[in-house]
């Protein structure tokens, strides 16, 4: 079940994207499953269609789903080999979530990460 918390510091598109990533990686949404249409999900969650569309675009860019024209948005199967992009995205998401929990903003997050890269 997808739930958007209007009091969350995370924007609604990010809440939706994150929850869908979790459902996909946990196997709740299996490869080949078609996600609800943008309009239907926006209506169900009481969001603007552009908010849902942005979450879907970001999922597609990260390789979690593919848009199949009139056939909708479909969960993609995992790659046969190591999926570095997906792993990197999961690590970045965990890092950002942890840093937000500390009350840090994007500039501070990047600054701490740069210190570790030196």
**pLDDT digit string, tens, across residues 83-94:** 666 677 778 888
- Crossing angle between the packed helical segments 106-117 and 84-101, to the nearest 10 degrees: 120
Does 80 or 16 have the greater pLDDT score?
16
- CA gap 84, 90 in Å, rounded: 10
- CA gap 86, 117 in Å, rounded: 21
Is the pLDDT score of 19 beyond 90?
Answer: yes
Nearest to 41 by CA among 10, 77, 15: 15
- CA gap 109, 18 in Å, rounded: 19
As a whole number, mean pLDDT of residues 74-83 equals: 69
At 39, the pLDDT band (50, 70, 90 cuts) reads very high
pLDDT of residue 79: 63
pLDDT of residue 113: 87
Does 95 or 83 have the greater pLDDT score?
95
Q: In 3-state terms, what secondary structure has residue 5?
A: coil
As a whole number, mean pLDDT of residues 32-59 equals: 96
At 81, the pLDDT band (50, 70, 90 cuts) reads very low
How many CB atoms are closer than 10 A to CB 51? Answer: 20
As a whole number, mean pLDDT of residues 101-108 equals: 92
Residue 46 — φ and ψ, nearest 5°? 60, 50
pLDDT of residue 84: 66
């Amino acid at each position: 079940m997808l739930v958007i918390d209007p009091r969350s510091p995370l924007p609604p598109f990010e809440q939706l994207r994150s929850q869908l990533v979790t459902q996909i990686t946990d196997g709740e949404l299996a490869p080949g499953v078609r996600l609800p249409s943008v309009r239907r999900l926006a209506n169900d969650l009481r969001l603007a269609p552009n908010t849902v569309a942005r979450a879907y675009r970001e999922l597609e860019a990260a390789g979690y789903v593919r848009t199949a024209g009139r056939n909708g948005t479909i969960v993609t199967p995992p790659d046969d080999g190591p999926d570095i992009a997906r792993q990197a995205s999961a690590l970045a998401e965990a890092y950002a979530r942890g840093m937000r929990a500390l009350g840090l903003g994007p500039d501070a997050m990047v600054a701490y990460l740069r210190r570790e890269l030196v």
